[in-house]
């Protein structure tokens, strides 16, 4: 039987669990992540006006790219998915993929 295919960012990818690990699946979909250099996505501290900025680290770039402002776990999952992470719910607590700065993970509100 052929592995399931899914479209992420206009490209076809085999579903996680179809012959490779989730980390391998995410690395193929999002590019290689070097866990020594830091996390690929950063959820910054609580803003005084509410929410947390989310940025994405791209290898070889000096500055991170702003990808959105999350006000809840649901917002964060949507932002990560739209940025190209195929299964954000499975890696949101994995420090190789998401780094939480300035406040505890999954803490929302104002700073």
**β-strand pairing of 98-100 with 41-46:** parallel
Rounded to whole angstroms, the Cα distance separating 83 from 2 reads 27
pLDDT digits (tens, 9 = 90+) for 57-88: 877 778 888 999 999 999 999 999 888 888 88
The distance of Cα 72 from the centroid of its chain, to the nearest Å, equals 14
The number of C-alpha atoms within 13 Å of 107 and in the hemisphere containing its C-beta is: 12
Per DSSP, what are the bridge partners of residue 54? Answer: 43, 68
pTM of full prediction above 0.85: no
Domain boundaries, the chain: 5-100
**What integer pLDDT is reported at residue 54 of this predicted model?**
96
Two tokens, residue 85:
């992470």
Secondary structure of residue 23 in the 3-state scheme: helix
């Amino acid at each position: 039987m052929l592995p399931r295919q899914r479209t992420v960012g206009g490209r076809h990818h085999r579903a996680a669990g179809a012959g490779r690990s989730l980390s391998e699946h995410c690395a193929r979909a999002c590019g290689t992540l070097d866990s020594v250099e830091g996390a690929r996505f950063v959820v910054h501290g609580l803003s005084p006006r509410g929410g947390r900025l989310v940025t994405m680290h791209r290898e070889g770039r000096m500055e991170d790219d702003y990808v959105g402002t999350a006000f809840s776990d649901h917002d964060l999952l949507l932002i990560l998915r739209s940025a190209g992470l195929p299964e954000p719910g499975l890696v949101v607590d994995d420090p190789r993929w998401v780094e939480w700065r300035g406040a505890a993970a999954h803490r929302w509100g104002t700073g």
